[in-house]
Amino acid sequence: MCFKYTCFVCFCLQVLNEKKLQEVDSLWKEFETPEKANKICEQQNVIVMSDLDSIISILQDKLNLSCIHSPMVTELMRGIRSQIEGLITGLPSREMAAMCLGLAHSLSRYKLKFSPDKVDTMIVQAICKYIFVSSVLQGLHFPTCLASVILGECLGPTEQGFLNLHFHGRSHIVQSGGALSLEPVLIHVTKLCLCQVIEISEYRTQLYDYLKNRMMAIAPNLTVMVGELVGARLIAHAGSLLNLAKHPASTVQILGAEKALFRALKTKRDTPKFGLIYHASLVGQTTAKNKGKISRMLAAKTALTIRYDALGEDTSAEMGAENRLKVETRLRHLEERGVILALLVQKKKKEESRKTCQFFFEYFTGHSTSHGNRRKELC
């Protein structure tokens, strides 16, 4: 059997036991180790050829051999490639690495195509994995021991700080478990769980850093407007950045609250004012009275920045910074206006109370004066 790699050298390998090639599904077991692979194939000689056509002509004309392609040949080639260093002598690992690298470059150049529509797939996968890791991190706890573990004063979530825990009422917990001999096992499982919590927490931090870098590279203006997590959730909910750019501002505002929207339309009640955009920092820092106005304005500016990121050629975040400044100015104006209106209402109430008191005072004083004049006339 001949192999043609990127260099013009053919290594001839002969199959020693062809009976084992009949079972295609279990053929991979014969190539688990180099020793097993040498029992199947053996190197015969090395042939130097100019090109692949000369090899095919020699096989067909002089040797009267035909080339076949079947699942058996595919599995055999896969097994030989996995143990190629043990089957072929005199082949350094450096050349094998260069061959693999050349094959990867050839595949990426001629077979694989870069799709700009699928760039944000990494963001969708990262935010889904971030949400899953966060849920796993919150679910790793022992409800029985939760009230008995006291961390005390800790500088940070270090492994030593978690392991030096103090348990109160451990005997009571173990007795409720059924046996006093489970106390060492319980401590060991608790320490193991805490170590796993540390690992998952570090992994979540790495995921957040990766997500932040990808968001700043793909959608910088959207990241400036609503943040990394909210922007990634919007992209994941829409499917891609281009699909999100096709939505109007009203859809961006309630994106993520479709269930509440359809329920409100069905029952003829008020529709929701915000969806995923509620978790943005600009909406969170305003008062409950102005959340609807700020979310509507933020959704309008966010829709513009999304279209700029998806369809524009500039990769700067200046547009997002300008729109965020406008929303912050509007937010500040609404808060100041609310304070001024509250002061005016309070001042108006004071004036009305003062006028009411003055009216009653004049009424009673005038009423008493008129009665005194009538008495004098009668006398």
**Structure confidence by residue, pLDDT tens digits, 210-230:** 888 888 888 899 999 998 989
Q: Are 2 and 63 in contact (CB under 8 A)?
A: no
Confirm if 220 and 315 have CB atoms less than 8 A apart: yes
Chain centroid, CA 115 distance in Å: 21
pLDDT band at 139 (very low <50, low <70, confident <90, very high): low
Question: Which of 45-49, 81-85, 96-100, 186-190 tops mean pLDDT?
Answer: 96-100
Asked whether residue 15 carries a pLDDT value surpassing 80, the answer given is no
Question: pLDDT digit string (tens) for 61-101?
Answer: 766 666 666 676 677 777 777 777 776 666 777 877 887 88
Domain ranges of the chain: 2-111, 118-216, 219-332
Q: Which residues pair with 4 in a beta bridge?
A: 10
Please state, as a whole number, how many other Cβ atoms lie within 10 Å of the Cβ of residue 214: 20
Environment class of residue 237 by beta-carbon count within 10 Å: exposed (0-12), middle (13-18) or buried (19+)? middle
Lowest-confidence pick of 33-37, 163-167, 302-306, 330-334: 163-167
The mean of the pLDDT values for the chain is 71
For residue 45, what is the DSSP state?
E
In order of 137, 221, 232, 308, the CA distances from 227 in angstroms are 22, 9, 8, 16
Q: CATH classification of 219-332 is 3.30.428.10, yes or no? A: no
Least reliable range by pLDDT among 109-123, 240-254, 295-309, 365-379:
365-379
What is d(CA 192, CA 165) in angstroms, rounded to the nearest whole number? 13
Phi, psi for 45 (deg, rounded to 5): -155, 175
Q: What does pTM read for this prediction? A: 0.53
End-to-end CA distance of the chain: give it in Å, rounded: 145
